């Protein structure tokens, strides 16, 4: 029994840390723009395909393909923002960019459908075969890789936000864009940077998720639904909350699979979401704020 708990705990954290990678991008974009980016899912999918073709068609190594997916994701984020979102924002509309993210998402999905077809691809990595055994728990080298890559990435992102001038500027833009402009910060540049970072994380998440996803042009959608839930449970725009909520959802998923039924995962996750909205609408960690006048 204890072994099962431990084993599923490890599985949950592996899956959860992938969700965190995807959800953090949504959180960052939400924090800066107060806007949900529906196209985020498709960048996850494109990241997975970029890694797939790099390894399976060009014979590249899986490790390098993670970096490729990161770059492809970041470049896509830059392109989509520069070509579509930024011009719409300049026109001062609140609703148009949101609708545009849905439009971009549908466009990307159908472009991928045209190129890649509807049949799932089998994404094999050399690391999924190697099983490590410690005591009576098992995990693959792939899981270890996922944990290392995502922990490192999250740590780097955290340090960037906390200790660099640009990271502090990013937080300032998300708290008060006009005042950030008065500090000499170009908000448009930081919004662009946010899209690039968020999309790079999504692309990389795609490369790590590829081997466990049913890899079709719609693969990202299944992940993004949970990522949305995670962003809400973590408190919109709250980075720490998102990390905790992501791991929590990963654990819920793996324990539900073990003790209930895999078909119930979404029901349990979204029941938690509704519960959170009812009892703590500000999310797991409410930002500490005392109003003093």
Partner 1 sequence: MTELLATDGLELAYGQTPACRDITFHVDDGEIVTLIGANGAGKSTTLRAIAGALLPRAGTIRFRGQDITRLPSYERTRLGIALVPEGRRVFPFLTARENLELGAFKYRNDKAKVRALIDKVFAMFPRLSERASQNAGTLSGGEQQMLALGRAMMSEPYLLCLDEPSLGLAPMIVQDIFRTIRSINTAGTSVLLVEQNARYALATASRGYVLQTGSIIASGPCATLKEDERVRHAYLGRSAVEGVSERVSR
Residues that bind partner 1 (CB under 8 A): 165-166, 168-169, 171-172, 175-176, 178-187, 287-293
Q: Give the residue with the Cβ less far from partner 1, 39 or 169.
A: 169
**Cβ neighbours for 138, distance < 8 A, ≥ 6 positions apart:** 7, 131, 132
Q: Give the residue with the Cβ less far from partner 1, 59 or 184.
A: 184
Q: Give the residue with the Cβ less far from partner 1, 174 or 254.
A: 174
In the complex, what is the shortest distance from the CB of residue 94 to partner 1, in angstroms, rounded to a whole number?
Answer: 13
Q: Give the residue with the Cβ less far from partner 1, 187 or 211.
A: 187
**Do residues 223 and 213 touch, judged by C-beta distance below 8 A?**
yes
Contacts of 103-106 with CB under 8 Å at 24 or more apart are 104/38, 104/39, 104/42, 104/80, 105/38, 105/39, 105/41, 105/42
In the complex, what is the shortest distance from the CB of residue 288 to partner 1, in angstroms, rounded to a whole number?
Answer: 7
225 by Cβ neighbours in 10 Å (0-12 / 13-18 / 19+) ranks as middle
Q: Give the residue with the Cβ less far from partner 1, 129 or 287.
A: 287
Q: Measure the CA angle with vertex 188, ends 186 and 190; round to 5°.
A: 75
In the complex, what is the shortest distance from the CB of residue 30 to partner 1, in angstroms, rounded to a whole number?
Answer: 15
In the complex, what is the shortest distance from the CB of residue 167 to partner 1, in angstroms, rounded to a whole number?
Answer: 10
Q: Quick one: DSSP state of residue 216?
A: S
Distance CA 251, CA 212 (A): 16
In the complex, what is the shortest distance from the CB of residue 283 to partner 1, in angstroms, rounded to a whole number?
Answer: 14
Q: 137 φ, ψ to 5°?
A: -105, 150
Q: Give the residue with the Cβ less far from partner 1, 133 or 289.
A: 289
In the complex, what is the shortest distance from the CB of residue 291 to partner 1, in angstroms, rounded to a whole number?
Answer: 8
51 by Cβ neighbours in 10 Å (0-12 / 13-18 / 19+) ranks as buried
């Amino acid at each position: 029994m204890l072994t099962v708990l431990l084993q599923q705990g490890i599985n949950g954290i592996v899956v959860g840390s992938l969700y965190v990678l995807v959800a953090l991008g949504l959180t960052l974009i939400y924090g800066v723009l107060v806007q949900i980016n529906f196209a985020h899912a498709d960048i996850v999918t494109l990241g997975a395909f970029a890694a797939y073709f790099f390894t399976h068609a060009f014979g590249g190594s899986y490790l390098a393909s993670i970096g490729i997916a990161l770059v492809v994701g970041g470049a896509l984020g830059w392109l989509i923002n520069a070509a579509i979102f930024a011009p719409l924002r300049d026109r001062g509309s609140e609703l148009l960019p949101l609708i545009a993210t849905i439009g971009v998402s549908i466009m990307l999905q159908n472009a991928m459908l045209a190129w890649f077809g509807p049949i799932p691809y089998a994404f094999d990595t050399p690391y999924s075969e190697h099983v490590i055994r410690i005591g009576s728990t098992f995990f693959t080298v792939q899981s270890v890789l996922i944990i290392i890559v995502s922990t490192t990435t999250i740590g780097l992102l955290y340090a960037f936000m906390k200790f660099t001038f640009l990271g502090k500027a990013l937080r300032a833009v998300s708290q008060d864009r006009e005042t950030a402009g008065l500090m000499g910060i170009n908000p448009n540049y930081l919004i662009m940077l946010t899209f690039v970072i968020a999309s790079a994380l999504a692309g990389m998440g795609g490369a790590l998720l590829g081997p466990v996803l049913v890899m079709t042009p719609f693969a990202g959608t299944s992940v993004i639904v949970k990522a949305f839930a995670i962003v809400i449970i973590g408190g919109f725009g709250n980075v720490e909350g998102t990390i905790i909520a992501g791991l929590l959802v990963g654990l819920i998923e793996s324990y539900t699979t073990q003790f209930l039924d895999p078909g119930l995962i979404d029901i349990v996750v979204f029941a938690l979401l509704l519960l959170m909205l009812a009892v703590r609408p500000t999310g797991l960690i409410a930002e500490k704020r005392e109003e003093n006048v």
